[in-house]
Structure 1
Amino acid sequence: MISEQLVDLSRLQFAATALYHFLFVPLTIGMVWLLLIMESVYVMTGKVIWRDMTQFWGKLFGINFALGVTTGITLEFQFGTNWAYYSHYVGDIFGAPLAIEGLMAFFLESTLIGLFFFGWSRLSKPKHLLVTMLMAVGTNLSALWILIANGWMQNPVGSEFSYLTMRMEMVDFWAVVFNPDAQAKFVHTVSAGYLTGSMFVLSISSWYLLRKRDVEFAKRSFGVAAAFGLASALSVIVLGDESGYTVGEAQQTKMAAIEAMWETKPAPAGLTLIADINEAEQKNNWEVEVPWVMGLIGTRSVSKQIPGIHDIKIKNHERVLRGIVAVKALEALRKNRHDEQALAIFNVNKNDLGFGLLLKRYVSDMDQVTPELIDRAVNDTIPRVTPMFWGFRIMVGLGFAMLALFGIAFFSTIKASKEKSPWLLKWALWMLPAPWIACELGWFVAEYGRQPWTIYGVLPTHLSVSTLSVNSLYGSLAGFVTFYTVLLIVEMYLMVKFARQGPGSLGTGRYQFETTHGADNLLGAAK
């Protein structure tokens, strides 16, 4: 059996690299559409200031994109190094979207980004705008295929286990592509990226306006970010509701943990705003609830119940028992593939095979299973409730705070006032970290809530890891954390450096703090 320490270290390493990587991804996804909006205005109006906006914010986008690609490469390699059995078990399915994403990211995106930066003087305005548009589409397509792969891990449709190959095999590619969970995750995640890009531009523009520098440039950037951010914030909330519905359909355990719902409540269930969670006694000491809301989000009805944790555990207990039968039948088939009796038994119980495999964490021989071990396996199917409950609520709270900010910022923009209120600009500046915190928490809720599975209901995490030494994992973990921290410091240094320089870093002679001064001024550029 694999040691618990090996599993924990493998999970920690993947979590650390994924969290670092996801610091860069949302900004890339969001910024590219803001660049497209700015350049579209430039092509339509011919005003040079809009080209300067595209080039300046594009410079910050390019820095972030480079760091995102660098940190993303190691994630895919980890499937082969740290999660070898996972790669063997589901590689035929999981590998397809990853291969397509690789083509999107490393060929399509990289080529288009090169044309974006080096094509300003070589391409006509419409052609360069087309490049920017394709770059935006390519960036989102790259995210789509990653989220199709991840969505399949959350809801493994279009596949089945083969006792001949002892692996999961794809039976319907299009079912994998149009997996409702994957589609909901995609639109919710990219909307969160749009929100992140909008907040980035809004916050930095607010900083310029507070210091009354490059005011016309900053006001236009502020306006674009406010409008796009408001639409994005609304999309995040609406599409988050759709994600909640797909979770309620495919992962009832995660839904119950997010809501700290220990008992099944009469339909439609209320939404718990806050609660004093007592995990030791598996109950809430007290809670504040909004009637009906959770039932409508999770079931789209007023009559369908959302099962509580206690009822889910009863159901999972039966699945573990059937899973034991499936594992025993599979072991008989491994010895004799022509054992028709074992095959018949396996076919009846194969949908619960993963639940039987949960016991491999404790025993290698199913004949040694005891009622106590079955109870431990059943308890393992429930993630810790407290971090899920509060992680989700902090994420949602930040989402509504950003919606309020962008709503007020957009209203201040359409008023066309000469100066923005200082309190609004300061609020926008201090809210800069909010979308990153929300995105990281969203990733945590999605991935931690799937435990103890790498493939939900199919392959337990403890069976997915490679056979590595604990010392090698300590070494690689330290190496990754050190390297990624250096990259993050480099990113922050470059971002702060060029943000402080502002559009003056373009060297056009039209902005403050430039080393080269031209005859044109900012007012002339705006005409």
Structure 2
Amino acid sequence: MELDIVGISRLQFAATAMYHFIFVPLTLGLSILVAIMETVYVMTKRPIWRQMTKFWGTLFGINFAVGVATGIVMEFQFGMNWSYYSHYVGDIFGAPLAFEGLMAFFMEATLVGLFFFGWERLSKIKHLLVTWFMAIGTNFSALWILIANGWMQNPIGSAFNPQTMRMEVTSFYDVLFNPVAQAKFVHTVSAGYTVAAVFVLGVSAWYLLKGRHTDLAKRSMTVAASFGLAASLSTVVLGDESGYLSGEHQSMKLAAIEAMWETEPAPAAFTAIGFPDQEARETHYAVHIPWAMGLIGTRSLTTVIPGIHDLVEQAEGRIRNGLLAYDALEAIRAHGYHSPLPEDLKARFEEHGRDLGHALLLKRYVDDPRQATPEMIEKAAWDTVPQVAPLFWAFRLMVGLGFFFILLTAVFFWLSARHRLDAHPWLLRVAVFSIPLPWIAAECGWFVAEFGRQPWAIDGVLPVAVAVSNLSASTVLTTLLLFIAIYSVLLVVEMKLMVKAIRKGPQLDAQDIEEMKTSLHALPSQNPATAS
């Protein structure tokens, strides 16, 4: 990445987004786990489940607070660093972003407050409803931001208006029910559930190794193992759906992930391992699995997956067609916006307008794309190829970890069914050391999704190089360094608070003690001869 204004702006947004996503998946998953635990408490009236709800709820609250604080910065960046992007697509992008903000800062924050301060003020049923609404609201907050992101990957339900020079909504229904957005939502949420399940599993395993809070730890592990097994299986299945949709809507991303330089006869082979070489435009020492990629990417034996070279050739054709749209657009601008457009001029733009974004790729090389040389057009066509090696390896690391989580949760699910969770200390240590792995997988997933979309801010519509604000590189670099410093402090504070809460463990309050006494009095009396 070149450290010009475009490169630094990308780096700043990547840093803030990936840092923010440290907190999002744990928030999504813990909210559901806490709701499940409180449901068991209300149904069984056993105090241990109330302790579990409050303990894991405390960790959820710490994580939620830092996540909200880091998410605010991202929304401001759209206006600060990506002003032309905000102008160009604000009519579409702004709506789901506004809904997400309303849910995060009003509904979620209110429900989180009721969750923590409503234990003695609300009945058990009312508090349980608050907890479930909090969990559902947290997950639906993610839905809106993923609708916005899904539209960036697959910009349907919209059209470019040459008179306003902006993208406008043509069908809000299509924006909401964009198949890419829906697939990303369920996949991201399932990944968040896996993160939380492995986190609860690992912390509980640490308690068992230390011989502390064993009743709470075993019950927590049972919930986490069953929940995590379902979540990790769902993540893999739904990830396959995301890959299939990438093949339909983002062929270049799929080809780059697979380092598929040449188009192969259907069904294409899957490259299990290899060493992509961007300069030589080939993959060295590749190990292929026959037919696998064709089945995964197209779910058929006859559909061809285009390779990078063929896709670049298609991009070059779209750039040349986009130049006709750009020329028509300049004629529209010269005509003015106060009188109706001539029908021939309008028809000329509509005929070629779908490729206007490809012509804008030339803005990196020349102010007026119509003045581009054949060499510039060829370079712009190759700009549609993201960096292959990072995508290739990030995807394989993510998939490998996904299958590891299935194995890990399945083992502990089997042990919990046999009431032998503490039978193998080495497995407990594996669970403890596995705590950071779901975050690595989740960050790899976002890296593949966003880095694989380059060079587009809006796929096929608006290049990143055009979307950036007119700022100096030094200004953005300064704010990037400040963000890194502040976020590093926040990360240290959050980690210390989480570790302190875990070391302290669950705490009993007056209601817990009272409920424990009530439970003991409710037990059948025993005589010394039969007492254990």
Structure 1 position 283, deviation (Å): 1.0
Alpha-carbon offset, residue 341 of structure 1: 3.8
1:8 matched to which residue of 2? 7
Alpha carbon RMSD of aligned pairs, Å?
A: 2.0
Structure 1 residue 357 and structure 2 residue 364: aligned?
no
- SS of corresponding position for 1:42: helix
Q: Secondary structure at the match of 2:406?
A: helix
Say which of 468, 472, 479 aligns to 1:469: 472
The residue aligned with 1:321 is: 320
Question: Residues 363-442 of structure 1 correspond to what in structure 2 (within 5 A)?
Answer: 363-417=366-420, 419-442=422-445
- What is residue 138 of structure 2 aligned with on the other side? 139
Q: Tell me which of 478, 490, 494 is aligned to 1:491.
A: 494
Q: Provide TM-score, normalisation by structure 2.
A: 0.94
Name 1:460's counterpart in structure 2: 463
Alignment of 1:29-44 (within 5 A): 29-44=28-43
Question: Could you say which residue in structure 2 is the equivalent of 1:79?
Answer: 78
| C-alpha contact 1:332 1:339 (8 A) present in aligned 2 | no
Name the CA distance, whole Å, in 1 between partners of 2:326 and 2:295.
38
Q: For residue 347 of structure 1, what is the aligned residue in structure 2?
A: 350
Show the counterpart of 1:64: 63
- What aligned pairs does 1:191-202 form with structure 2 within 5 A after superposition? 191-202=190-201
C-alpha distance 107-525 of structure 1, shift in aligned 2 (>3 A): farther
Supply the distance in 2 between the matched residues of 1:118 and 1:446 (Cα, whole angstroms): 39
Shift of 1:280: 1.4
Change (3 A) 1:178 1:518: closer
Does structure 1 residue 184 correspond to structure 2 residue 187?
Answer: no
- The Cα shift of 1:285 comes to 2.1
What corresponds to 2:448 in structure 1?
A: 445
Give the 3-state SS of the residue equivalent to 1:503 in structure 2: coil
Identity of aligned residues (%): 59
**Aligned in 2, Cα 1:488/1:4: closer, same or farther, shift over 3 Å?**
closer
Cα deviation, 1:475-506, whole Å, max 9, x if unaligned, reads 211111111111111100000111111114x5
Aligned to 2:291: 292
Cα displacement string for residues 438-480 of structure 1 (whole angstroms, at most 9, x for unaligned residues): 1111111000000000000000001101111222212211111
Gaps of 5+ in 2: 524-532
Tell me the distance in 2 between the aligned counterparts of 1:93 and 1:186: 18
Unaligned runs of 5+ in 1: 511-516
* Cα distance, 1:120–1:525 mapped onto 2, change above 3 Å: farther
Matched residue of 1:285: which SS?
strand
4+ runs of 1 displaced by more than 4 Å?
A: 506-510, 517-521, 523-527
Question: CA separation in 1, counterparts of 2:520 and 2:77?
Answer: 53
- Structure 2 SS opposite 1:273: strand
> Residue 418 and residue 430 in structure 1: after superposition, are their counterparts in 2 closer, same or farther (change >3 A)?
closer
3-state secondary structure, aligned to 2:260: coil
The alpha carbon displacement at 1:366 in A equals 2.9
**Inter-partner Cα distance in structure 2 for 1:30 and 1:202:** 13
TM-score normalised per structure 1: 0.95
**SS class of match (2:159):** strand
SS at match of 2:506: helix
Aligned AA (2:450): E
Provide the rounded CA distance (Å) in 1 between the counterparts of 2:46 and 2:521: 7
2:35 alignment partner, SS class: helix
Contact 1:201 1:225 (8 Å CA) reproduced: yes
Deviation digits for residues 144-182 of structure 1, max 9, x if unmatched? 000000000000000010011011000000000000000
**Secondary structure, in 3 states, of the residue corresponding to 1:105?**
helix
How far, CA to CA, are the matches of 1:470 and 1:138 in structure 2? 39
Q: Distance in 1 between matches of 2:483 and 2:395?
A: 28
Amino acid at match of 1:223: T
Q: Is the 8 A contact 1:333 1:339 kept in 2?
A: no
Stretch of structure 1 that moved more, 280-289 or 92-101: 280-289
Structure 2 residue aligned with 1:514: none
Please name the residue that 1:220 is paired with. Answer: 219
Q: 1:164 to 1:4 in 2, by over 3 A?
A: farther
C-alpha separation in 1, matches of 2:521 and 2:247: 53
Displacement of 1:16 after TM fit? 0.7
Using the alignment, how far apart are the partners of 1:21 and 1:179 within structure 2? Answer: 24
Name the SS for the 2:375 alignment partner.
Answer: helix
Give me the whole-angstrom Cα distance separating, in 2, the residues matched to 1:341 and 1:329. 10
Equivalent pairs counted in the alignment come to: 518
CA deviations over 1:373-412 (Å, ceiling 9, x no partner): 0011001000010000000000111111111100101000
After the TM superposition, which residues 42-191 of structure 1 pair with which residues of structure 2 at under 5 Å, given as runs? 42-191=41-190
Q: Which moved more, 1:167-176 or 1:364-373?
A: 364-373
Report the Cα offset of residue 271 of structure 1.
1.5
After superposition, the C-alpha distances for 1:102-142 in whole angstroms (9 at most, x for unaligned) are 11111111111111111111111111111111111101110
Please state how far the C-alpha of 1:317 moved relative to its aligned partner.
0.9
Tell me how far 1:339 sits from its aligned partner.
Answer: 4.7
**In 2 relative to 1, CA 419–365 (structure 1 residues): closer, same or farther, beyond 3 Å?**
closer
Question: What does residue range 272-287 of structure 1 map to in structure 2 within 5 Å?
Answer: 272-287=271-286
CA shift in 2, pair 1:485/1:321, >3 Å = same
The farther-off stretch of 102-111 and 386-395 is 102-111
2:250 maps to what in 1? 251
Helix, strand or coil at the partner of 2:505: helix
* Residue pair 1:322, 1:352 contacting (<8 A) in 2 also: yes
What is the CA–CA distance in structure 2 between the aligned matches of 1:459 and 1:480, rounded to whole Å? 27
Q: Distance in 2 between matches of 1:526 and 1:355?
A: 74
AA aligned to 2:229 is: L
Counterpart contact for 1:328–1:366, Cα < 8 Å:
no
1:321-342 alpha-carbon deviations (Å, 9 max, x no partner): 0011111111111001435443
1:298-338 deviation per Cα after TM superposition (whole angstroms, max 9, x unaligned): 11211111110011011111001001111111111100143
Alignment deviations for residues 178-219 of structure 1 (CA, whole Å, 9 cap, x no partner): 000000000000000000111111000000001111111110
In structure 2, C-alpha distance between the alignment counterparts of 1:116 and 1:292, rounded to whole Å: 51
SS of 1:432's equivalent? coil
1:48–1:526 CA contact under 8 A, matched in 2: no
Q: Is the partner of 2:119 in helix, strand or coil?
A: coil
Report if aligned partners of 1:49, 1:526 keep a CA contact under 8 Å in 2: no
- SS of 1:289's equivalent? strand
* Stretch of structure 1 that moved more, 39-48 or 282-291: 282-291
**Mapped contact 1:48–1:525 kept (Cα < 8 A):** no
- CA distance, structure 1, for counterparts of residue 182 and residue 175 of structure 2: 10
Contact kept? 1:49, 1:525, Cα under 8 Å = no
Q: Which position in structure 2 is the counterpart of 1:513?
A: none
Structure 2 counterpart of 1:448, which letter?
F
